[in-house]
């Protein structure tokens, strides 16, 4: 039984958010990998761009930051230089600026630091699952996947528990800014440019900024120096400190990235369990499967569908002339289904090893800072889920997010039988 069959005709519009509301257009990606691996893609909303779809190309190009820069924006949408400066985070910079900020944060998100949170994650997972599973039939994205990541991020960053539901809502508005289910300000349908200087071009960015500022003032009053936010406020070795705008944008990045990527990994894993019944039995058998399962679920999900780079000078690839200033989209979702690299890529194989997927943007300096937290959350969630159920199946069709940037199942009706 296949998990899900892509419906696109092989010529889908990759620049259209509507395309991805039907799920990623894998027939189109497969054709491009085969026939046109450096594809000039028309984009009605701005400058056209190159679509890079092969695994080998993306891994090579992702390392070459001198030729393919992050410092002009990392999404398909065009920004003026003024907007870029107002909205950028360290994600949208190159070395050495990028390294300086990243250094400050790495320790807070390292594998060792994250491992200390395992029991807390397990407790939160237990609580969430017990509530959801008692319903028998429910929306697994809403009742399971949506709950865990923000509650965990709240602990890591040091946010008050009571604020978390509000932060989930704002995080959704930021990153799902092209899906009308999550925001009243659908980015590609905006009739105002009022928010163009705000993170993610979203009014939620402004609200989050005020929130972050007040939170830090409150912490300073109490002498509380814990958490990631204080870490980033410390001066660097050369004495430089982060500006207010940089801090605002970083906080928004944390809320957006911490909120939805792991959510959609969890959702994709649960969807796979509904369609490949052997997965539950493999999870229940336990042991070595947990060393590889999270990465396979995260490969399957690929929540960050692409990141963009900008060519810094003219270069020829696959017979195409790339010009300085051209945008290039690295389609991780395509690389993660590239059958010249992965055996049977459309099947979830929890024992896949090695599994050098690109869901975290590996093979480059911008590799996901939160990857150890994500892997741990996914592992623990599925361990606790597998313990509690005897059967899981789809209780209706699932729905995808309307976004060509974040890939996710936003509604996932399931039916479970307790173990």
Partner 1 sequence: MKVTWNLPGGEAVTAQVDYGQNLMEAAQAQSVPGIIGDCGGSLACATCHVHVATDWRQACGAPGEFEDAMLDMVDDRQDGSRLSCQIEAAPALDGLVLTVPES
Check binding of 364 to partner 1 (CB under 8 A). yes
Are the C-beta atoms of residues 148 and 123 closer than 8 Å to each other? no
CB 257, CB 370: distance < 8 Å: yes
Q: Output the smallest distance, CB 330 to partner 1, in A.
A: 13
How many residues sit close enough to partner 1 to count as binding (CB under 8 A)? 22
Applying CB under 8 A, the span of 62-70, 135-143, 159-167, 383-391 interacting with partner 1 comes to 62-70
355 near partner 1, rule: CB under 8 A: no
Task: Tell which one of 10, 126, 158, 365 touches partner 1 (CB under 8 A).
Answer: 365
Structure tokens at 328: 């290039």
Buried b (16+ CB within 10 A) or exposed e, 327-349: bbbbbbbbbbbbeebbeebeebb
Please give the distance of CA 348 from its chain centroid, rounded to a whole number: 19
Contact call for residues 407 and 305 (beta carbons, < 8 A): yes
- Out of 7, 48, 80, 110, which residue is the one contacting partner 1 (CB under 8 A)? 110
Given the rule CB under 8 A, which of 9-17, 123-131, 189-197, 360-368 is the region that contacts partner 1? 360-368
Taking the complex as a whole, how short is the minimal distance between the CB of residue 53 and partner 1, in angstroms?
19
In the complex, least distance from residue 114 CB atom to partner 1, rounded to whole angstroms: 12
The only residue of 88, 309, 366, 375 in contact with partner 1, by rule CB under 8 A? 366
Closest to partner 1 by CB, 109 or 251: 109
Asked if residue 417 binds partner 1 (CB under 8 A), the reply is no
Integer Cα distance of 359 and 60 in angstroms: 15
**DSSP helix/strand/coil, 199:** helix
- Cα 140 from Cα 160, distance rounded (Å): 25
Judged by CB under 8 A, which of 363, 388, 394, 411 binds partner 1? 363
State how far the Cα of 55 lies from the Cα of 37, in Å rounded to an integer: 10
Nearest distance from residue 215's CB to partner 1, in Å? 26
Tell me 187's DSSP state.
Answer: G
Binding of partner 1 by 63 (CB under 8 A) = yes
Residues near 166 by beta carbon (within 8 Å), at least 6 away in sequence:
none
* Residues near partner 1, by CB under 8 A: 59, 62-63, 65, 95, 99, 102-103, 106-107, 110-112, 354, 360, 362-367, 371
């Amino acid at each position: 039984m296949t998990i899900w069959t892509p419906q696109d005709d092989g010529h889908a519009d990759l620049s259209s958010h509507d395309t991805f509301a039907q799920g990623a257009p894998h027939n189109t990606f497969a054709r491009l990998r085969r026939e046109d691996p450096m594809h000039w893609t028309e984009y009605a909303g701005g400058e056209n761009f190159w679509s890079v779809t092969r695994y080998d190309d993306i891994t090579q190009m992702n390392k070459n930051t001198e030729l393919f820069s992050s410092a002009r924006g990392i999404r398909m949408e065009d920004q003026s230089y003024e907007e870029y400066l107002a909205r950028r985070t360290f994600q949208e910079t190159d070395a050495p600026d990028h390294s300086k900020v990243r250094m400050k944060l790495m320790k807070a998100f390292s594998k060792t630091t994250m491992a200390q949170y395992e029991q807390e994650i397990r407790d939160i997972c237990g609580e969430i699952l017990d509530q959801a599973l008692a319903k028998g039939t429910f929306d697994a994205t809403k009742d399971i996947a949506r709950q865990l990541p923000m509650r965990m991020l709240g602990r890591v960053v040091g946010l008050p528990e009571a604020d978390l539901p509000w932060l989930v809502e704002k995080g959704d508005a930021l990153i799902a800014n092209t899906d009308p289910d999550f925001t009243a300000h659908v980015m590609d349908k905006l009739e105002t440019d009022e928010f163009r200087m705000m993170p993610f071009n979203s009014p939620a960015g402004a609200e989050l900024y005020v929130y972050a500022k007040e939170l830090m003032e409150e912490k300073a009053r109490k002498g509380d120096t814990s958490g990631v936010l204080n870490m980033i406020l410390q001066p660097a070795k050369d004495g430089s400190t982060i500006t207010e705008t940089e801090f605002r944008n970083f906080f928004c990045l944390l809320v957006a990235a911490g909120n939805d990527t792991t959510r959609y990994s969890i959702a994709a894993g649960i969807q796979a369990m509904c369609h490949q019944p052997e997965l539950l039995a493999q999870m229940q058998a336990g042991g070595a499967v947990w060393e590889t399962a999270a990465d396979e679920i995260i490969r399957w999900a690929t929540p960050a569908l692409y990141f963009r780079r900008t060519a810094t000078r003219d270069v020829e690839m696959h017979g195409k002339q790339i010009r300085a200033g051209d945008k290039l989209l690295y389609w991780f979702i395509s690389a993660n289904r590239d059958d010249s690299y992965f055996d049977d890529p459309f099947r979830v194989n929890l024992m896949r090893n090695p599994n050098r997927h690109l869901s975290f943007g590996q093979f480059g300096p911008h590799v996901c800072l939160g990857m150890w937290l994500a892997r741990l959350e996914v592992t623990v969630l599925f361990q606790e889920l597998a313990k509690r159920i005897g059967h899981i199946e789809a209780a209706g069709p699932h729905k995808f997010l309307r976004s060509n940037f974040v890939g996710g199942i936003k509604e996932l009706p399931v039916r479970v039988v307790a173990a």
